[in-house]
Amino acid sequence: MQEMTRRELLARGGRVALVAGGVSLGRPLVRLARASAGGIYDELASGLRGEVVLPSSSAYDQARLLFDTRFDTVMPRAIVFCESTADVQRTVRWAREHAVRIVPRAGGHSYGGYSTTTGVIVDVSRLNGITLDPDRRAIVGAGARLIDVYQKLALHGRTVPAGSCPTVGIAGLALGGGVGFASRKYGLTCDNLLEATVVLADGSAVVANAHAHPDLYWALRGGGGGSFGIVTRLVFRTHPVGQLATYAIEWPWPDAAKVVQAWQKLAPYAPDGLFSVLNLNSVVAGRARVTSAGQLFGSADRLRALVKPLANAGTSTRFTVTSRSYLDAQEMWAGCSGTIAECHLPPQGQLGRSTFKGKSSFANKPLSLKGINAMIRQIESRITTGSGSGVILLDSYGGAINRVKKDATAFVHRDAIPTSATGSVRTTARTSIA
């Protein structure tokens, strides 16, 4: 049985429908003729390697969309598809000259819609190169998608620890922290960021690392995307990968409280190589369920022994452990096992856009039974009140994540034991953004 992915689970917790007409983010863009971009936009377009897409372009309706359909009503004045750092510099300087609000966008997966605007979107998705240098550092364009980073580095037996949602852009993830199934072993994505090329508000470009612009380098590691400049290129430390094992467990809903308690006893004390997630959700046919899944850098036998007490916390209806290659596991978490091409949005891939509203919180001590029961009631209320579906995901922090000092980077949540919680609810609302 194929596992429900993290992003799919959140999306089902908040899904309404795909956009009418089936418009997708992956459709090839129609190049906008320079002559058709009038006024100040013609001025901008004339000096770019990339292109400017205006509301008058046939490419506009799909070029403006984010992953989350809640923001489909937001109408940018233009979308600038940059193909170099120089393109970003020119756009920033142009925006300053004409007092135009700009917002950077890489993968367009922001929960809060922070990668869109009624001003101008500076899109870096075409800056998507991925190379491994002789020192085994990954040189990655800001717009590279996670699944492509995994695939390219796996050819060399290496990886950068990152998330499980395949179409997320590497820059937005790294700048906000970046947690995933390799994080307890190798740290957050931002912990492995060695260097970044950044276009500042005055249009200048700098390289920030531990020796040059160290304050900026500190802020970029967990301080949020687009706050201090527009990142165009990142350099990451990579780590070796090989065979690993994954697990999946499901229990009847009445077991939820004791399963959460058992999971909290496992999560903070597990070996660094084990990352696990616990899901409480009401997304399947109007009924609630509790599931857990995870990944171990180790053997299937070792993983089974580690999580067997968790499986036995209730009457598990499913308990599977599977050996996989690292890349196979990332495809499985992404919900696109088969080919890398499937892990993209149509028409290149088979993944779709989604509608959900999510928010994350951190806990620095185990949740009490009172708190656990409150979460359970919230999930149950989505069914009993007919208000739609919802999901709570608990991530296991600790390990390498928590060994980084709280002031070493801008990501301060280094005592989050055992969990980081992400909640998602169904919503029919469309959001307006200035």
Cα 220 to Cα 411: distance, rounded to the nearest angstrom: 9
Domain shared by 304 and 385, yes or no? yes
Q: Measured in whole angstroms, how far is the alpha carbon of residue 227 from the centre of its chain?
A: 18
* Percent residues over pLDDT 90 in the chain: 70
- Choose among 366, 363, 359, 357: nearest CA to 420: 363
Give yes or no: residues 95 and 152 share one domain. Answer: no
CB-hemisphere CA count at 13 Å for 207? 6
Q: Please indicate, yes or no, whether residues 174 and 110 belong to a single structural domain of this protein.
A: no
- Domain identity same for 234 and 147: yes
Based on the fold, state whether residues 111 and 136 are members of the same structural domain.
Answer: no
Residues 235 and 249 in one domain: no
Which CATH number goes with the domain that contains 232? 3.30.465.10
- Is 46 within the bounds of a domain? yes
Q: Are the C-beta atoms of residues 364 and 150 closer than 8 Å to each other?
A: no
The residue out of 180, 211, 240 marking a domain boundary is 240
Cα–Cα nearest to 185, from 164, 161, 166, 165: 161
Query: Which of 240, 257, 291 is a domain's end point?
Result: 240
- With vertex at residue 143, the alpha carbon angle to CA 91 and CA 51, rounded to the nearest 5 degrees, is 40
Q: Express each pLDDT in 64-93 by its tens digit.
A: 999 999 999 999 999 999 999 999 999 999
Domain boundary among 74, 96, 123: 123
* CATH label of the domain that carries residue 407: 3.40.462.20
Instruction: Judge if 169 and 289 occupy the same domain.
Output: no
Residues 109 and 232 in one domain: no
248 and 329 share one domain: yes
Would 431 be classed as within a structural domain? no
- Assigned domain for 434 exists: no
168-181 residue pLDDT tens: 999 999 999 999 99
Q: Amino acid identity, residue 286?
A: G
The label of the residue with tokens 């983010």 reads 25
- 4-33: per-residue pLDDT in tens? 555 454 444 433 222 222 222 233 333 333
**Overall residue count recorded for the chain in this entry:** 434
Question: Domain span at residue 181?
Answer: 130-240
Digit-by-digit pLDDT tens for the chain (434 residues) are 445 555 454 444 433 222 222 222 233 333 333 334 459 999 999 999 999 999 999 999 999 999 999 999 999 999 999 999 999 999 999 999 999 999 999 999 988 899 999 999 999 999 999 999 999 999 999 999 999 999 999 999 999 999 999 999 999 999 999 999 999 999 999 999 999 999 999 999 999 999 999 999 999 999 987 789 999 999 999 999 989 999 999 999 999 999 999 999 998 889 999 999 999 998 755 689 999 999 999 999 999 999 999 999 999 999 999 999 999 999 999 988 667 878 887 767 778 888 888 888 898 889 999 999 999 999 998 877 666 678 899 999 999 999 999 999 999 999 987 565 666 665 555 555 65
Element (H, E) at 209: strand 205-209
Structural domains counted in the chain? 3
**CATH, residue 47:** 3.30.43.10
Same domain (yes/no): 276, 421: yes
The answer to whether residues 80 and 103 belong to one domain is: yes
Q: Is residue 85 part of a domain?
A: yes
**In a domain? residue 343:** yes
Which string of DSSP letters, residue by residue, matches 352-409? --B--EEEEEE-SSPPPHHHHHHHHHHHHHHHHT----EEEEEEE--TTTTTS-TTTS
Same domain (yes/no): 21, 67: yes
Q: Report which residue type is found at 280.
A: L
